[in-house]
Amino acid sequence: MADCFVTGIAPTQDIAELEKMLGSVPNLDQANLSVITTANRSDRHDRSFLNFIHAGGPQIDAEVVGGSIADAGSIMTGSGGTGVPGIGADSNSLGFLGHPYVVQHVGALPIPEDEADNYNDALEDGRCVVAYKSANADCASFEGAFKAAGLKHVKTFA
């Protein structure tokens, strides 16, 4: 069965609030959950049961969410280049997120460009993006659970 990504925007970067929100989601496999944040990495992030990915380090992709976050360094960047159009990394390498004038905090997750802008804006405004890798059969139940937990703009992408 194919995987999907259930995503949502948490209204805060506060670790205790995020743990309270997401810790109550039933049947959630914490190994498949990632929380993307622009907050500086701290010991509290490292001790949390949540898998935090901090904007500013190695780029996130679909393999990082639901995979070994530690192997990815738990930090992500934008396009992996200089950020100057025409110099550095080819913007086509961003897959679904390939327009060069937007900071790509959500990396190469399978999120269409117009939706990625919403998530990037949320991160810039001090909120977090939650991404959960699940089997397609479970996506609808996790969408409902994320909404009940207080996440906004909850969507599923394949």
- pLDDT by residue, tens only, the chain of 158 residues: 568 889 999 999 999 999 999 998 998 888 889 898 889 889 999 999 999 988 765 445 445 455 543 444 444 444 444 444 444 443 333 333 333 333 455 555 677 777 878 888 888 899 999 989 887 778 889 999 999 999 999 998 87
What range does the domain containing 111 cover?
3-157
Spatial separation of the C-alpha atoms in residues 155 and 9, rounded to whole Å:
10
Radius of gyration of the chain (CA): 15
**Which of helix, strand or coil describes residue 133?**
strand
Q: What is the per-residue burial (b if ≥16 Cβ within 10 Å, else e) of 49-77?
A: ebbbbbbeebbbbbebbbbebeebebbbb
Q: How many domains does the chain have?
A: 1
Spatial separation of the C-alpha atoms in residues 41 and 112, rounded to whole Å:
28
Residue 128 sits at φ, ψ, to 5 deg, of: -120, 155
Torsion of Cα atoms, 21 then 27 then 31 then 32, to 10°? -90
pTM score of the predicted model: 0.69
